[in-house]
Structure 1
Amino acid sequence: MRDVCIVGGGVAGLAASIFTARAGLDTLVIDSGGRTPPNSRTQSSDGSILERNASLENYPGFPDGVDARRYLDLTREQAQTAGTTIELGRVTRVEPVDESDLEAGFVLETEGGEPLDARRVIAASWADSEYLVPLDVGRIQRGSKHFVSVDDAGRTAVDGIYAAGRLANEPHQAIVAAGHGAKVALAVIHDSDANFYYDWVASEGYFTGRGREVPPGCEEISDEERRKRDERARERMLEAFAEPLDERPTMHPSVEQD
């Protein structure tokens, strides 16, 4: 049984997976159709809405913007580097393993694939939430879409079920979705009794030089290691941006195509 199954391979789900995987939780993302997921449970092909974005212009760190699909590919790569497993598929139904004991986890039915088991589920699948209907998490209909009611940390009315990003009624912005996905992941980490996650890499002696132990989720590194990591990061980014992406973004399904 997985510790965490995240339904949705957009920025909210991937950001959540980076945090949960790095905190040591066995994390699976079910992506409904991104560019490069390694395995398949269905022939679905809609994927993250960022696949439709021609240029991502308001994400911090990119002064002149960035191709949204390239950003999404790099985020997927980061999630996998953190230890996340990504599979292509569509979840059709989620139910408790034991109605009387939600701590026993949940069964996720998939279209064209075997069922999955997970102790906790993060729904990050805007705009699909039909698979949550059996759980009565509190779906709110607005027009043709449904949002999921959550608390400040992304917890739903059902223990062990969370929602992140636009599905949780967050603003429709990539940076907000990423931040909310991370916030929800921290709630999952807390509820899983994993060590508190700081994600703080400090220079050697930052903690130990003051007679303190290095906190869980933190790390001290030498100047030599810092330079190695910086060099590796720069080389990867230069490689990633060496050539333009020639394919056009995915058009909205309602637009007529020749």
Structure 2
Amino acid sequence: MSDENPSVVVVGGGPAGLTASLFTGRSDMPTTVLDEPESILRRNAHLENVPGFPVGVNSRLFLDMLDDQAERAGVEREQAEVTAVHRDDPTDADEPFVVETADGDAYTADVVVAATKSSPAYLDPLSDDLELDQQGSKTYVSADERGRTDVPGLYVAGRLAAKPHQTVVAAGHGGEVGITVVEDSEVPFYHDWVVPEGYFTGRGREVPPGCEEIDEEERRRREEESIEIMRDYFDEPHPEEPTMHPSVAEDEDEDDE
């Protein structure tokens, strides 16, 4: 892996993948999220256990907000089904990954974050070096607490790492994995933190990598912008209905025939 602005491909555009991409994108690591058309969270009727939303939030709106936030951090987003992740020379950890899709496209990346649900078939080309954990019909990828697998440069986040099937847990683990990717890459980083002007410099310190000092005028500008954007998000009900579980949808289709 290059130690200067390594590229990242995140497989999966749910809370874990988008949150991981937020931190790598904000750290100036070129990041692309590859996602199938639908996150499983879109099946949720109303999301009621995410901090910061006292009476809950529409889960489809929540995903849209995560998506917009990642885009503002410079993350690229592509709709694609990933079919394989491999290295041309599996013995060379400095060689980039090749990420192949069902459409025949191929992406290269120094780092891959696998953040899909428990179906890692696309990692089969790396299976000789991966430890998998089969639990009933689910297959998880073994990793340390920060998402590092036995394959250098490959990380797993959220459900695929056997984390509880909860949005806030997936997002939290995705954030931890994203920060781990940044730290492991040796991109200069201290905290991803925006502080008032003088917080560091007023103590005779330089502003650490990843941090930002802003003056009062800029703080107010950002707050006003956030209020305006949040009002736009919640101005009207989200137009999409929850997606029914595939097995139920199939039964309904059969009843209509």
Match of 1:104 among 95, 99, 103: 95
Where does residue 11 of structure 2 map in the other structure? 7
The question of whether the paired residues in 1 share the 8 Å contact of 2:119 and 2:140 is answered with no
Q: Partners in 2 of 1:19 and 1:183 — Cα distance?
A: 9
Q: Partners in 2 of 1:110 and 1:179 — Cα distance?
A: 27
Structure 1 runs of 4+ with >3 Å offset: none
Where does residue 42 of structure 1 map in the other structure? none
Q: Partners in 2 of 1:187 and 1:97 — Cα distance?
A: 25
Where does residue 179 of structure 2 map in the other structure? 186
* CA shift for structure 1 position 145: 1.3
Is structure 2 residue 199 aligned with structure 1 residue 206?
yes
Write 1 or 2 for the structure with the bigger share of helix. 2
Where does residue 161 of structure 2 map in the other structure? 168
Q: Partners in 2 of 1:163 and 1:95 — Cα distance?
A: 15
* CA shift for structure 1 position 197: 4.3
Where does residue 38 of structure 1 map in the other structure? none
SS in 1 for 2:109: strand
Where does residue 245 of structure 2 map in the other structure? 252
Is structure 2 residue 18 aligned with structure 1 residue 27?
no
Q: Partners in 2 of 1:184 and 1:218 — Cα distance?
A: 19
Where does residue 86 of structure 1 map in the other structure? 77
| AA partner of residue 156 (structure 1) | T
| AA partner of residue 114 (structure 1) | D
* CA shift for structure 1 position 113: 3.0
Q: Partners in 1 of 2:240 and 2:172 — Cα distance?
A: 28
Which string of whole-angstrom CA distances, capped at 9 and with x for unpartnered residues, describes residues 162-203 of structure 1? 100011001111111001001111111112111124111111
Q: Please, which moves more after superposition, 187-196 or 157-166?
A: 187-196
* CA shift for structure 1 position 223: 0.7
SS in 1 for 2:110: strand
Where does residue 217 of structure 2 map in the other structure? 224
The question of whether the paired residues in 1 share the 8 Å contact of 2:21 and 2:75 is answered with yes
Which string of whole-angstrom CA distances, capped at 9 and with x for unpartnered residues, describes residues 65-86 of structure 1? 0000000000000001001000
The question of whether the paired residues in 2 share the 8 Å contact of 1:98 and 1:105 is answered with no
Is structure 2 residue 108 aligned with structure 1 residue 117?
yes
SS in 2 for 1:104: coil
* CA shift for structure 1 position 127: 2.7
Where does residue 58 of structure 1 map in the other structure? 49
Where does residue 135 of structure 1 map in the other structure? 126
- TM-score normalized with structure 1 length: 0.92
* CA shift for structure 1 position 103: 1.3
Where does residue 17 of structure 1 map in the other structure? 21
SS in 1 for 2:149: coil
